[in-house]
Structure 1
């Protein structure tokens, strides 16, 4: 009714900070300025590359 939907394919390059996510539990995730869980993917990629 309000136009929101859940997509099956996330775009992690668009949501690496909590403030960019459509919904997040800010109390449990470190606040608006914290990195989202998707940032771990980028950190792991950087570690794997060298």
Structure 2
């Protein structure tokens, strides 16, 4: 009954523009933890 986000840990996926490292969270990280590059927001991979 409406259990859409039962196993959803966070709302967004972010990917580094430089090295491609990915992380998830509610807000965009300031910089990549791996190389210090800029983090880009990716659309959620939720398929309907």
Give the TM-score normalised by the residue count of structure 2: 0.23
Bigger relative contact order (CA 8 A; separation at least 6) = 2
Hey, which of these two has a bigger chunk of helix by percent?
1
Hey, which of these two has a bigger chunk of strand by percent?
2
Give the TM-score normalised by the residue count of structure 1: 0.23
